[in-house]
Amino acid sequence: MQESKINLLIIDDHQLIIDGIKGLLQDENDIDLIMEANNLTQAIEVINKNFINVALVDISMPENSGIEVTRKLKEISPETKILALTMHEDIQNITDMIEAGASGYIFKRTSMDEVLEAIRTIARNEKYLSRNVQAVLVENMRHKSEVIQNSAKEKVNLSEREREILGLIAKEFSNEEIANRLFISERTVEAHRRNIFTKTKTKTIVGLMKFAMKNNLIDFNNEF
Amino acid sequence: MQESKINLLIIDDHQLIIDGIKGLLQDENDIDLIMEANNLTQAIEVINKNFINVALVDISMPENSGIEVTRKLKEISPETKILALTMHEDIQNITDMIEAGASGYIFKRTSMDEVLEAIRTIARNEKYLSRNVQAVLVENMRHKSEVIQNSAKEKVNLSEREREILGLIAKEFSNEEIANRLFISERTVEAHRRNIFTKTKTKTIVGLMKFAMKNNLIDFNNEF
DNA sequence: TAAAACCTAAGTGCCAGCACCTATTTTATT
DNA sequence: AATAAAATAGGTGCTGGCACTTAGGTTTTA
Q: What does pLDDT average to over chain B?
A: 81
Q: Does A176 touch chain B (CB under 8 A)?
A: no
**Are the Cβ atoms of B214 and A221 closer than 8 angstroms?**
yes
Contacts of B159 (CB under 8 A, 6+ apart): none
Cβ within 8 Å of residue B49, ≥6 positions away: none
At residue A188, the pLDDT reads 92
> What percent of chain B has a predicted confidence (pLDDT) above 90?
4
B91 touching chain A per CB within 8 A: no
Q: What is the pLDDT of residue A99?
A: 82
Question: Does the distance separating the beta carbons of B210 and A205 come in below 8 Å?
Answer: no
Sorted by where each starts, the structural domains of chain A and their CATH numbers stand as 6-140 (3.40.50.2300), 160-214 (1.10.10.10)
SS3 B97: helix
Which band of pLDDT confidence, cut at 50, 70 and 90, is reported for residue B157?
A: confident
Taking each helix axis from N to C end, the angle separating A131-151 and B91-100, rounded to the nearest 10 degrees, works out to 70
- Per-residue confidence band for B171, with pLDDT thresholds at 50, 70 and 90: confident
Residues A163/A174, Cβ–Cβ less than 8 Å: no
Q: Between residues 129 and 158 of chain B, which touch chain A (CB distance below 8 Å)?
A: 129, 131, 134-135, 137-138, 141-142, 144-145, 147
The shortest C-alpha distance from A214 to chain B (Å) reads 7
Nearest CA in chain B to A148: B221
Report d(CA A173, CA B39) in Å as an integer: 46
Q: How far apart are CA A50 and CA A7, in angstroms?
A: 9
Separation in Å, CA A99 to CA A82, A142, B143: 12, 21, 8
3-class secondary structure for A116-173? HHHHHHHHCCCCEECHHHHHHHHHHHHHHHHHHHHHCCCCCCCCHHHHHHHHHHHCCC
* B95, B134, B145 member nearest A127 (Cβ): B134
Say which residues have a Cβ less than 8 Å from residue A217's Cβ, sequence separation at least 6: A158, A163, A166, A167, A211
CA dihedral B197, B202, B204, B207 (to 10 degrees): -130
- pLDDT (average), residues B25-54: 85
Residue A81 is predicted with a pLDDT of: 92
**Model pLDDT, residue A163:** 86
Distances (CA, A) of A1 to A71, A124, B15, B57, B224: 29, 8, 34, 31, 51
Which B residues 26-55 touch A at CB under 8 Å?
Answer: none
pLDDT at A216: 65
3 state DSSP class of B85: strand
- pLDDT tens string, chain A, 224 residues long: the values are 445 788 889 988 888 788 888 888 878 888 887 888 888 888 888 888 888 889 998 876 655 577 878 888 888 888 899 999 887 777 777 888 888 888 999 887 777 788 888 999 999 988 898 888 888 888 877 766 555 554 444 456 778 888 888 888 888 888 888 898 888 988 899 899 888 888 888 888 888 888 887 776 766 554 43
**Min CA distance, A46 vs chain B (Å)?**
26
A131 contacts B127 by C-beta, under 8 angstroms: yes
